[in-house]
Structure 1
Amino acid sequence: MPVLKTSNLTKKFGKFMALDGVNIEVNEGEVYGFIGPNGAGKSTTIRILLGILKATKGNVQIFGKDAWSEAVEIHKRIAYVPGDVNLWPNLTGGEVIDLFVKLRGGNNKNRREELIKRFELDPTKKCRTYSKGNRQKVALVAAFSSDADLYILDEPTSGLDPLMEQVFQSCILEEKHAGKSVLLSSHILSEVERLCDRVGIIRQGEIIESGSLSEMRHLTRTNLLVATKQSIASLDEVKGVHAIEEQGSEISFQVDTEELDAVIRYISQFGIVKLESAPPTLEDLFMRHYEGKSNIGAGGAV
């Protein structure tokens, strides 16, 4: 049974349709990437998962329990980190971490100390003195100290420097190897690509693509950089070739992955002397879904 499952999740604010039939499934020991532009509906979905908002229609099950009516029981086993953390200004970071950990019934001091060291956090400072990045660290240390079964993370690395992002990523992989589940909403596509087993792309309240990255790569394009003995004739007329650019004696272009074999056969007759291939990335896939759409995020849900 999935750890988290939404079925036809729909949310209206008046006449505005914020979510329209969203289906998400997160299994045990899986990291699920939830991506989309600002205003696509990610945070609205997460608020419903947390029992903060009630869905207009549809069903949300976490650990087999209803996310709205059994929210208190569910929260005993989940850890949540928002993208913008607000803390009690007069408490120290360490006091806030202890408070959150005790709320979940945990008391693993060694884990707490190890995480504080890894995230390079000074737990003795008052929260009002913390930068945005340090507030995120407090929330992340509290979450990873709590031994939750499901982590719901909404832009969790916002404000962290690249070194701390690496620490965060190693923590996620440790939780995954321990059989824990993660729903990761992120703008950083390279982060999602590195961590996630499956991905769902949301746009204007609808899931427009979902699956494992290997399943989704057929929808993307491979980037090629080629140099040939003779100039390549009529490359722009070859099926599946896009975005041709001349770079001195070399040509860069994109190829629909399903046409890659035919395109390589075509250009090889002109005498290939150099060929560089960059595999399609999650960013390529994401941008392809949004090509030519000038209304990205316009009027969308938060």
Structure 2
Amino acid sequence: MYIIETSNLSKSYGKNRGIIDINLKIKEGEIFGFVGPNGAGKSTTIRTLLNFIFPTGGSGKILGMDIVKQSKDIKKQIGYVPSEVKFYDEIKVKDIIKYSCSFYDGINQEDVDKLYELLEVDVEKRMSELSLGNKKKVAIVQALIHKPRLLILDEPTNGLDPLIQKRLFELLKKANKEGTTVFFSSHNLVEVENFCDRVAVIKEGKIIDTVVLEKLAKKAALKIVLSYKEINEEIIKEIGGQVISKEKNEFVFNYSNDVDSLIKKLSAYKISKLLISEQTLEDTFMNYYESKGVR
């Protein structure tokens, strides 16, 4: 079963771009990433899926239900963390969570208390007293209290310190093992690398590809840093490299063949500096963006 499925889902703002013909198929139990630069359409896609804004074209289903006609029923079974968290200033954290719990049956208060402890949430504070990161932690608790079938997270780590980020990912992995599907939107490619199974890449309101991270990792090229007095771009191309950057006599380039072949080719030159490393998935994605013209 696809827990999220869209067909040419679109949102137009007249002359301003929204999202165009978004097609997603996310399997139940996946940890699915949604990446792209700021302004690419990630939040607009999510808000349209959740019927916070009305689609102007196409259709979508969550948990087999129509995102417009059955939005109320959908929201009972999902958790959502928005990119920008807003609450009434004078309300206390404990009252927000208590109110949220009232919408669901079978909430276990011990589990809620564990979330408070793990995320270091001060329940006696008023929202006006909280920083961006602390407000985000309240939203995360809200999203998790009822153990939803689907979690939709829009830039959930913004404002969180590294320790809380680590604990959040532990919580999400635990929830996923217990059956929760995770839809994770981020522009942080390191987070995506460490967390997701598949990733959709969005550019200028359109999905340009969906990739399996495990397969992408296997295809990753080597990253080479090379210095040589007489080096030029033609030499790099002759040995099979794709130049990423250059500064004076130093080149950074990708190399997709085996290391032994590279060393043999370079033995003809007097090299002053040679660094060989495996690309991270962040490197791979940045190259992917650039090759597709994503900025």
The superposition leaves residues 112-151 of structure 1 with CA deviations (integer Å, 9 ceiling, x where unpaired) of 1111111111111111111111100101112122210000
Counterpart of 2:11 in structure 1 is: 11
Using the TM superposition, give the Cα deviation of residue 6 of structure 1 relative to its aligned residue in structure 2, in angstroms.
Answer: 1.1
Counterpart of 1:136 in structure 2 is: 136
Give yes or no for the alignment of 1:266 onto 2:265.
yes
- Counterpart contact for 1:98–1:142, Cα < 8 Å: no
Distance change in 2, residues 1:30/1:238 (3 Å)? same
- Counterpart contact for 1:6–1:23, Cα < 8 Å: yes
Distance change in 2, residues 1:87/1:218 (3 Å)? same
Report the 3-state secondary structure (helix = DSSP H, G, I; strand = E; otherwise coil) of the residue aligned with 1:103.
coil
Task: Return 258-267 or 177-186, whichever deviates more.
Answer: 258-267
- Counterpart contact for 2:199–2:213, Cα < 8 Å: yes
Counterpart of 1:300 in structure 2 is: none
Matches within 5 A, 1:61-80: 61-80=61-80
Report the 3-state secondary structure (helix = DSSP H, G, I; strand = E; otherwise coil) of the residue aligned with 2:210.
strand
Q: Distance between the aligned counterparts of 2:20 and 2:255, measured in 1?
A: 30
Matches within 5 A, 1:163-182: 163-182=163-182
- Counterpart contact for 2:77–2:149, Cα < 8 Å: yes
Distance change in 2, residues 1:256/1:113 (3 Å)? same
> 1:266 is aligned with what amino acid?
K
Matches within 5 A, 1:51-62: 51-62=51-62
Using the TM superposition, give the Cα deviation of residue 225 of structure 1 relative to its aligned residue in structure 2, in angstroms.
Answer: 4.7
**Unaligned stretches of 5+ in structure 1?**
297-302
The superposition leaves residues 130-176 of structure 1 with CA deviations (integer Å, 9 ceiling, x where unpaired) of 11111001011121222100001111111111111111111111111
Q: Distance between the aligned counterparts of 1:53 and 1:246, measured in 2?
A: 47
Task: Return 200-209 or 100-109, whichever deviates more.
Answer: 100-109
Q: Distance between the aligned counterparts of 2:140 and 2:170, measured in 1?
A: 12
Matches within 5 A, 1:130-279: 130-217=130-217, 221-225=221-225, 234-243=235-244, 253-257=252-256, 262-267=261-266, 276-279=276-279
Q: Distance between the aligned counterparts of 2:126 and 2:245, measured in 1?
A: 55
> 2:73 is aligned with what amino acid?
E
> 2:265 is aligned with what amino acid?
Y
Counterpart of 1:28 in structure 2 is: 28
Counterpart of 2:91 in structure 1 is: 91
- Counterpart contact for 2:43–2:154, Cα < 8 Å: yes
Task: Return 86-95 or 258-267, whichever deviates more.
Answer: 258-267
TM-score, normalising length: structure 2:
0.87
> 1:188 is aligned with what amino acid?
N
Task: Return 76-85 or 257-266, whichever deviates more.
Answer: 257-266
Task: Return 263-272 or 162-171, whichever deviates more.
Answer: 263-272
Report the 3-state secondary structure (helix = DSSP H, G, I; strand = E; otherwise coil) of the residue aligned with 1:159.
coil
Distance change in 2, residues 1:101/1:290 (3 Å)? farther
Q: Give me the CA root mean square deviation.
A: 3.0
Q: Distance between the aligned counterparts of 2:278 and 2:248, measured in 1?
A: 16
Identity %: 33
| Equivalent residues, number | 292
Distance change in 2, residues 1:45/1:243 (3 Å)? closer
- Counterpart contact for 1:227–1:275, Cα < 8 Å: no
Using the TM superposition, give the Cα deviation of residue 50 of structure 1 relative to its aligned residue in structure 2, in angstroms.
Answer: 0.4
> 1:73 is aligned with what amino acid?
D
Distance change in 2, residues 1:279/1:292 (3 Å)? closer
Distance change in 2, residues 1:205/1:29 (3 Å)? same
Report the 3-state secondary structure (helix = DSSP H, G, I; strand = E; otherwise coil) of the residue aligned with 2:23.
strand
